[in-house]
Structure 1
């Protein structure tokens, strides 16, 4: 069997890229041949490369790419990611294309049951072809860190590409208040600049707080393990998420996570059980202090998070579940 994985912005270090590459690696272990193409970069595609099945990621981008082709794929399935679920599905200018993408798919994959409910409320007629498969976890090799945490510091890490939806400035503004009380706090921002205007704003903030905020930039995904191993807290400040690979990875290391209250984060983090979910800046500061000052809370939540990921986000299960769906589609 050969499966073509079609992802937006695949050659940029984004969450979709991590997800698609992990899925490809898992399918390879099951003797499935895969090929990955990007659906958003300039290319003179007139048809998909030969494959038994096309698996598109991000319903809107995938559909707009298909519109440019001389020959439409048959069969295909679609994975709903973050932006298409939380924004494009309800955008008057994109909604029709998202609907068409989903109607034409033989199967639709979502990361959690709440996402399935959202789609079913909009398109009840496609309920029976929606499948829930949680994101799998990535394994990282043991590596010496290429950057070292300062001794006797409390390290917050925000792994995110810099774009508006990730709300990176919120982390700096919030921790700025905490830094007054705890001057040994440090913040690492890890990820590429994707939106340059937002990048300029973040760089300006960093320059104002360079004694405790560091922009690490893009780190190859295979080396992220060395970042997580040094973190005391991992943050997600996004306005909306699908299901963050970085949060899954951090939790698998037993690191307390502090995340904004959006649907994707709530699908991963149970408040005060496997991490902290905040709504306001004051809550962010309160939960940060609990992690800083209470080792029992920090260790307990970290261990529960680690166990939760091991139980619910197996990459092996993820690959096997996709293969079962592929086989079901091809039998039809």
Structure 2
């Protein structure tokens, strides 16, 4: 079966990594899966034209109901969708966007949510399509590069010299130009806070291994692969207490949750001083990922769902 797979493919982002992993699952079952960046298409008509080219695509898949799924509304082959997180957490709040996502969900053969909570939210805000929404957590596999070095981040700072542990390094691509300017302005005023360019996944995992903790400060998440990767690498997680994070970070068991800057500082200080707490969340986080986020289950789920696209 020849499949078109649409996703937001900004380089070295979680979306890109997730899409590549799912594509490999599909192709390991003998299908052809062509991954394309949703941002490259201006309208559903462009995707419909691509689908019909010879040899034609026989099915399609999309991550994010609005950004990618909406581009599949004009195609005449069966398709499935995967909730991205922001589509259910944020986009449903806008009536015009919600209507489009309802159309996508109605036409889709199946939909995948990373968590039970995300499925519940989809059923609440969109037209009830419970029977076609499946829950499949992200599968995690970590690889560490041996060549990564932190030296470039250790710039002069009184605060850093007094306590080298108190350094916050923000790693990632500059996707939103306006937000990037805001972040850079704040960082310039903040001793011990550094910005770093995006890294390959193996280099990022090496950076995580050298950290005392991995922080997730998102205000909206579907399922953070970075949190799961940190757990798998044996690094404690301190994450903002939002539904997407709380679905995988169980406070004081697999990680720590915070709801305010003051609470973040408090929880971080606990990790520094309470070795028993640190060891507990590291041990339980590792076990949690091994039990609930294996690649085998994820691979089998997507292969089974793609097979449903072959049905008349």
Same fold (TM over 0.5): yes
Candidates 139, 144, 149, aligned match of 2:142: 139
> Is the 2:69–2:81 Cα contact (8 Å) retained in structure 1?
no
Secondary structure at the aligned position of 2:210 is classed as coil
Counterpart residue number, 2:13: 14
Secondary structure at the aligned position of 1:60 is classed as coil
Counterpart residue number, 1:53: 59
More displaced stretch, 22-31 vs 104-113:
22-31
Counterpart residue number, 1:189: 170
Query: How many residues are aligned here?
Result: 302
Counterpart residue number, 2:225: 245
Deviation at 1:126, TM superposition (A): 1.1
Does residue 101 of structure 2 align to residue 103 of structure 1? Answer: no
Deviation at 1:244, TM superposition (A): 0.8
Against the structure 1 CA distance between its residues 224 and 179, is the aligned structure 2 distance closer, same or farther, given a 3 Å change threshold?
closer
Deviation at 1:77, TM superposition (A): 0.6
> Is the 2:98–2:126 Cα contact (8 Å) retained in structure 1?
no
Against the structure 1 CA distance between its residues 181 and 95, is the aligned structure 2 distance closer, same or farther, given a 3 Å change threshold?
farther
Secondary structure at the aligned position of 2:67 is classed as helix
Superposed counterparts of 1:217-228, under 5 Å: 217-228=197-208
Counterpart residue number, 1:24: 23
CA deviations over 1:68-88 (Å, ceiling 9, x no partner) = xxx514200110111101111
Deviation at 1:117, TM superposition (A): 1.2
> Is the 1:54–1:73 Cα contact (8 Å) retained in structure 2?
no
Against the structure 1 CA distance between its residues 246 and 180, is the aligned structure 2 distance closer, same or farther, given a 3 Å change threshold?
same
Unaligned residue ranges in structure 1 (runs of 5+): 152-177
> Is the 1:62–1:101 Cα contact (8 Å) retained in structure 2?
no
Secondary structure at the aligned position of 2:140 is classed as coil
Secondary structure at the aligned position of 1:34 is classed as strand
CA deviations over 1:160-206 (Å, ceiling 9, x no partner) = xxxxxxxxxxxxxxxxxx98995641111100111112111211222
Give the aligned CA root-mean-square deviation in angstroms. 2.5
Does residue 125 of structure 2 align to residue 122 of structure 1? Answer: yes
Does residue 65 of structure 2 align to residue 91 of structure 1? Answer: no
> Is the 2:140–2:229 Cα contact (8 Å) retained in structure 1?
yes
Secondary structure at the aligned position of 1:330 is classed as coil
> Is the 2:113–2:136 Cα contact (8 Å) retained in structure 1?
yes
In structure 1, distance between residues paired with 2:39 and 2:90: 18
CA deviations over 1:209-231 (Å, ceiling 9, x no partner) = 35x22211111223222111101
Counterpart residue number, 1:256: 236
Does residue 120 of structure 2 align to residue 113 of structure 1? Answer: no
In structure 2, distance between residues paired with 1:304 and 1:105: 37
More displaced stretch, 195-204 vs 255-264:
195-204
Counterpart residue number, 2:267: 287
Structure 1 length-normalised TM: 0.84
In structure 2, distance between residues paired with 1:146 and 1:52: 46
Candidates 295, 298, 301, aligned match of 2:281: 301
Deviation at 1:292, TM superposition (A): 0.7
Against the structure 1 CA distance between its residues 91 and 181, is the aligned structure 2 distance closer, same or farther, given a 3 Å change threshold?
farther
> Is the 1:18–1:245 Cα contact (8 Å) retained in structure 2?
no
In structure 2, distance between residues paired with 1:219 and 1:60: 28
Does residue 210 of structure 2 align to residue 230 of structure 1? Answer: yes
Deviation at 1:30, TM superposition (A): 3.4
